Amino acid sequence: MRVSIEKLSKVYRDRDGRQVIALEDVEFDVEAEEFVAVLGPSGCGKTTLLNIVAGLLPASSGQVTFEGERRPGTPLTATVFQEFALFPWRTARANVEFGLEELGLPGSERAARARRYLDMTGLAGFETRFPHQLSGGMRQRVGIARALAVEPAVLLMDEPFSALDAQTRALMMEELLAIWERTRQSVLYVTHNIQEAVYLADRVVVLSRRPGRVIEIEPIALGRPRTEAYQGDPAFIRAVDRIWGLIKAQARSALGEERG
């Protein structure tokens, strides 16, 4: 499924009634089977953008269009959130089945699909555990399995590993890449971590500070499938340096305005 984001802007009012422009004329595409990461300075509207694509927020202007075929009865998008967002009274399997219940699938199909995606995310044997019995990384795997189980046309991910420790985060990135190689879903991935974006994505969309605008779309010249060794590749290092330069320029511009 291809996603086209055209001239997207979002304006809202703060608690004092003042107008705040979160996004302004944001425009880029996510091609079918492409992994696109979005990053930028804190407060630049990354999550707002993702929520608009997910249909959770209306745009003030512009549009998001989805092009391509999808299976009947499956959603356009599913989101993996920054917080684990699991129901504490449901087991891992029951959490994964929740979205399938909403789609009205029969019990046997729900169970089979939940089992398949729990296996895919490395949770075989933990189906009957409750969230408090799982580690942080395992809870996020349940969240990923839940999003994958509804088989959306586009997978949306909002800083899904930011709450994890460094070792678990590295392992989860490897897991995500392995899952993506199997599913080949279109992915729109929001992060504030430059190395993470470069390691995972085919292209990285860099947003300016608020109001968020696209200042660069960086293609990542790394082969697939990827392994941790790619993080020492000269192409990886060059891409990280280029993007970091853009982010630093935004930060310096903001400091200059504050001092002025």
Residue 69: which pLDDT band, with cuts at 50, 70 and 90?
confident
Name the residue among 238, 163, 257, 250 with its Cα closest to residue 206.
Answer: 250
Backbone angles phi, psi at 142, to 5 degrees: -60, -40
The one-character DSSP state at 230 is G
pLDDT mean across residues, the chain = 91
pLDDT tens profile 200-233: 999 999 999 889 999 999 999 999 999 999 999 9
Tell me the mean pLDDT in the region 145-166: 91
Q: Is the pTM of this model over 0.95?
A: no
CA distances for 126 relative to 86, 92, 94, 115, 122, angstroms: 15, 7, 12, 10, 9
E strands of the chain, at which residues? 2-13, 19-30, 35-39, 61-67, 77-80, 154-158, 186-190, 203-207, 214-219
Q: What is the homologous superfamily of the domain 2-70+154-259 according to CATH? A: P-loop containing nucleotide triphosphate hydrolases (3.40.50.300)
Please report, for the chain, the start and end positions of each structural domain, with discontinuous segments joined by +.
Answer: 2-70+154-259, 85-152
Strand partners, 155: 78, 187
Return the pLDDT at 165.
Answer: 87
Pick the closest to residue 146 from 200, 82, 93, 190 (CA basis). 93
Q: Please, which residues bridge with residue 35 across strands?
A: 187
Asked if residues 32 and 68 have their Cβ atoms less than 8 Å apart, the reply is yes
